[in-house]
Amino acid sequence: MSDAYLALEDGRVIEARGRASGRTRGELVFTTAYTGYEESLTDPSYEEQVLTFSYPLIGNYGVREERFESDRIHPRAAIAREFTDDVVEWFDSEDVPAIDHIDTRDLVTAVREEGAMKCGIAVGDDVTPEDAKEELANCKGMSEHTEIGAQVSTVDHETYEGGGETDVALVDCGAKMSIVDSLNERGADVHVLPHDIDAETIEALDSDVLFISNGPGDPANFTQAQSLVEEFVGEIPLAGICLGQQVIARALGGTTEKMAFGHRGVNQPVRDLNTGKVVMTTQNHGYTVGKPGDLNVTQVNVNDDTAEGLENDDLNVITRQYHPEAHPGPNDSLDFFDDVLAMTENETKAVVSD
């Protein structure tokens, strides 16, 4: 074990037990998920953040690569009441600092009351509180990470075959592999494309659906994905998840805004405004759609009324703020992917209003 210090934007410096050594900084957030730590830690949407687990024991069923959502851990550091040795070995292998023996209830309460905050972490045999404070002093806000897309996106065009019934162009802004799997399982071939892919490549693919993925940070920084939506809306069906919903809304005249502490967990209730049905959903985002622009709000969060589903039948657009593919979490909303592929049956071209 080693020394560890967590310096918070509110001025506190908290002493902890060091489990995986290193020094880093990021936006402190928490998840209420009580299982699926492997999926959470490999979710690209946690890039540039420090993830606190509210569930007290993390690592109790080991680490299995087949559960990963990407090829690496994305949070800059991890915090829990207690980590098992198995998960600590994983942190060590990827040089990700980790601390435990900390009152995570107090930490979660602080984030809920004060909002997601900058933090600095120092772990090692000879670290001091000043080391953590130095990391904090150099921490950027999430909107300042203007190149975050390049940190999480594929570099090359990758194709995942699902049977060839339909063809999906997935713009990878930090996509979870479960999105690809969910489309493949429904017979769709998926082209995973870089976040800054050009319109000419999309046009040459002649795909049936243009899909904007989830991803980390401020949607305002994903300008190329937004311009793709502006280019192809009304010409090809459009879908988006999480950050993808925000990018599409911005492209169609909407606005986005940063939330106090976001939605991160597997028990967020969402109500469908047409049916009144409530489903439990998995979520991981710190930004939300303010005004929907040319889209209609079809689903809202029961807790705070934020937009969870946006649609426009005339434009062939459907988006979700939550993760229908879950992993971890409930499978109540997997039919979203059926709805996405069903849009390919509607070939009507539309014109976006000014």
Give catalytic status of residue 165 as yes or no: no
List CB contacts of 118: < 8 A, sequence separation 6 or more.
8, 9, 25, 26, 27, 28, 136, 139, 140, 141
Is 62 flagged in the annotation as binding? no
Is 286 flagged in the annotation as binding? yes
Is 54 flagged in the annotation as binding? no
CB 318 within 8 A of CB 339: yes
Active-site entry in 38, 191, 242, 311? 242
Is 287 flagged in the annotation as binding? yes
Among candidate residues 51, 22, 47, 46, the one with its CA nearest the CA of residue 132:
22
Is 215 flagged in the annotation as binding? yes
Active-site entry in 74, 195, 325, 327? 325
Give catalytic status of residue 242 as yes or no: yes
Give catalytic status of residue 139 as yes or no: no
Is 243 flagged in the annotation as binding? yes
Active-site entry in 195, 285, 323, 327? 323
Is 245 flagged in the annotation as binding? no
Is 226 flagged in the annotation as binding? no
Binding residues for L-glutamine: 45, 215, 217, 243, 246, 284, 286-287
Cite the active site residues.
242, 323, 325
| Residues placed in the known binding site | 45, 215, 217, 243, 246, 284, 286-287
